[in-house]
Structure 1
Amino acid sequence: MTISQGVFVDARTSQIAANLASVRERITAACHAAGRDPESVTLVAVTKTYPADDVARLAELGVTDVGENRDQEAAAKAAAVPGVRWHFVGRLQRNKARSVAGYADTVHSVDSLRLVDALADAVVKAERGAALGALVQVSLDDDEHRGGALTGQVEKVAEAIAASPVLALRGVMAVAPLGWEPDEAFARLAAIAARIQQRFSAPDAAADWISAGMSDDLESAIQHGSTHVRVGSALLGKRTPLG
């Protein structure tokens, strides 16, 4: 059963609308401070642990890019709420690749050659009819126990994505490591992003996305060139995780 749009007039919608206005004001102010056009930054609403009704509310309010961290939760919401672009932003296991390829527009968390292969195979089997967008997730602190390609492997992963006829290299993604100042983290990501864009961009395929910045550090990320900020709690509030 899908959730139709245009049905919510309630306190929760008003709360989300107020939060959305505040986040958009922050994005606009950060862009002005950085000498950038606010239209150059896409807001991706991260709805993990929030119900499909909240995704539908966001869609009514004009938010068309939605991010999820877990496939089981994302797949159910994608089936329930049509008309938005789904971004998979969490750590992705290869055995979930086929499911994700069925609904996601872009996977932000590609961090290994094996995952590139799994996604490419999944796109073929899903018979999508369009390439799956992919970003290389960068481990800025080179911690092997966390998600992200080590900095020395980023270009190899990007090269594999770019070489696939069913994947589209969009750019890079990262999360500021714990204990790092956001400016330090996002400056390092910007330098890596510049190398990827220079090497892999083409007139019809610009690898120019920088997916960086969340509720607490989006201003710093925008200062360092983020094109996609992934915002959850500032939009939807704190919530006890589902399941």
Structure 2
Amino acid sequence: MVMIFDNVQKIKQKIREVCLKTGRNPEDVTIVAVTKTVPVERIIEVVNAGIYDIGENKVQELLEKRKSIDNVRWHFVGHLQTNKVKYIVDFVHLIHSVDSFKLALEIEKRARRINRVVDVLIEVNTSGERTKYGVKPEETLNLVRQISENCEYVWVKGLMTVAAYLPNPEDVRPMFRTLRELRDEISKFNFRNVEMRHLSMGMSNDYEVAVEEGATIVRIGTAIFGPRK
């Protein structure tokens, strides 16, 4: 049986150790429990273990689970289609996966209607894999500029990436470093509605390396809940 509470404590301890080693404050790293296919009762276990940030990949699954779980911050971490924006725009805490100006404009339109600012991250494809979503690193600055110049209700809070899945976590370090360097570059510009606070990077197999490289949000599923069936 997967001991969710114990797993959460182990992850927190590892993050604490990495932060102490690199001179960071462990409180600056948020664990988002990724609950794709995870039943509600196990999500409640993770909340009881002290994780209040919950990430979902599918809009329909998020909406169903939200009916049964209160007092958490919902993160949307999967690929978001423009026709699904309307279902989450009124409550989602953070959208991690804005990868086009078209999507940003749809969020802006829906958010304006309800007079609610929506915080987003720009998803960057740092691995170059065709199977992954995300804007190219060299196109990221322009997308941020477009959003800043044309949106009032979409606020860019940082960047996100899904690194390649490689057996040795050290091999993905350059991808995390690319995201951090992009964040630092964009931070030099005084864009309206842009605050480069977050780097959402690192998952179950590589979150320690991601924290070493500056992650402020790690998205963890398997290391908390065990392998998906």
Give the superposition deviation at 1:64: 1.1
Flag the 1:27–1:117 CA change in 2: closer, same or farther, 3 A: same
Give the superposition deviation at 1:137: 0.4
Whole-Å Cα distance in 2 between the matches of residues 216 and 150 of structure 1? Answer: 23
- Once superposed, which parts of structure 1, at least 4 consecutive aligned residues long, lie more than 6 Å away? none
Question: Is there any run of 5+ residues in structure 2 with no aligned partner, and where?
Answer: none
Tell me, yes or no, if the aligned pair for 2:145 and 2:191 is still in contact at 8 Å.
no
CA offset digits 1:12-58 (Å, max 9, x no partner): 7xx11111111111111111121111111111111111012222222
Q: 1:157 maps to which residue?
A: 143
Name the SS for the 1:76 alignment partner. helix
CA offset digits 1:157-208 (Å, max 9, x no partner): 2123334211111000001124581211111111111112222577x96322
Q: Which amino acid aligns with 2:154?
A: L
1:92 maps to which of 77, 80, 87: 80
TM-score by length of 1: 0.86
Whole-Å Cα distance in 2 between the matches of residues 68 and 207 of structure 1? Answer: 23
* Higher mean C-alpha deviation, range 111-120 or range 177-186: 177-186
Flag the 1:79–1:197 CA change in 2: closer, same or farther, 3 A: farther
2:89 maps to which of 73, 90, 101: 101
Q: Aligned runs of 1:1-243 on 2, under 5 Å?
A: 15-125=3-113, 127=114, 129-163=115-149, 164-178=151-165, 181-200=171-190, 206-240=195-229
Whole-Å Cα distance in 2 between the matches of residues 176 and 70 of structure 1? Answer: 20
What percent identity do the matched residue pairs reach?
A: 30
Give the superposition deviation at 1:219: 0.9
Tell me, yes or no, if the aligned pair for 1:142 and 1:151 is still in contact at 8 Å.
no
Name the SS for the 1:176 alignment partner. coil
Whole-Å Cα distance in 2 between the matches of residues 195 and 161 of structure 1? Answer: 17
When the two chains are superposed, the root-mean-square deviation of aligned CA atoms in Å is 2.0
Tell me, yes or no, if the aligned pair for 1:171 and 1:197 is still in contact at 8 Å.
no
Name the SS for the 2:199 alignment partner. strand
Whole-Å Cα distance in 2 between the matches of residues 213 and 145 of structure 1? Answer: 18
Whole-Å Cα distance in 2 between the matches of residues 131 and 57 of structure 1? Answer: 31
Name the SS for the 2:203 alignment partner. coil
Question: Is there any run of 5+ residues in structure 1 with no aligned partner, and where?
Answer: 1-10
Q: Which amino acid aligns with 1:38?
A: P
Whole-Å Cα distance in 2 between the matches of residues 111 and 49 of structure 1? Answer: 24
Flag the 1:205–1:148 CA change in 2: closer, same or farther, 3 A: closer
Whole-Å Cα distance in 2 between the matches of residues 161 and 26 of structure 1? Answer: 36
Q: Which amino acid aligns with 2:161?
A: A
Give the superposition deviation at 1:144: 4.9
CA offset digits 1:125-144 (Å, max 9, x no partner): 4x2x4311100000113445
Name the SS for the 1:108 alignment partner. strand
Q: Which amino acid aligns with 2:110?
A: A
Q: Which amino acid aligns with 1:185?
A: M
Tell me, yes or no, if the aligned pair for 1:75 and 1:103 is still in contact at 8 Å.
no
Tell me, yes or no, if the aligned pair for 1:116 and 1:160 is still in contact at 8 Å.
no
